[in-house]
Amino acid sequence: MAFVIGRRCKDVSESGALDVIAGYTLLNDLSARDYQFMTPQWLPGKVFDGSAPCGPALVTPDEAGPHDGIEISLTLNGETMQSASTSDLIHGVPALVAYLSKLMTLEPGDIVSTGTPAGVGSVRQPHVWLKPGDVCVVESRTLGRLETRLV
């Protein structure tokens, strides 16, 4: 799940953080693990073309429901791999906004990915690696359905 900043802000308090959010959307945090595991930094595995599809829409906060109650799931070729809620986040949405806005000025349209729920393929035994032809579906009752076909 990701949230989108709605207005320019800096040094936002946690209590005021939800006021700067334009809405929520789904984001598939795809990773090229071969590149990610080449260094201790995760960035190389997450910056390739097509690496973070998002959508299908920007859902306003009132339509999305409570920021700490958004349910999401991911299926791979029809099999549920991840199922979680934003209540499971280590750092909730207000804390993320407050922290990031201390590091940088947040601008309207900035997209913040909140993280990956338990169940990623690289930590499963046996490992589950994505391959051409696989279909990943990220879904939420309030945010919609994002389907990604790997090529």
Assess contact for 101 and 109: CB atoms under 8 A. no
Q: How do the pLDDT tens digits run along the chain, 151 residues long?
A: 999 999 999 999 999 999 999 999 999 988 776 667 777 776 766 777 778 899 999 999 999 999 999 999 999 999 999 999 999 999 999 999 999 999 999 999 999 999 888 888 888 999 898 899 999 999 999 999 999 999 8
b vs e for 12-48, b when ≥16 Cβ sit within 10 Å of the residue's Cβ?
beeeebeebbbbbbbbbbbbebeebeeeeeeeebbee
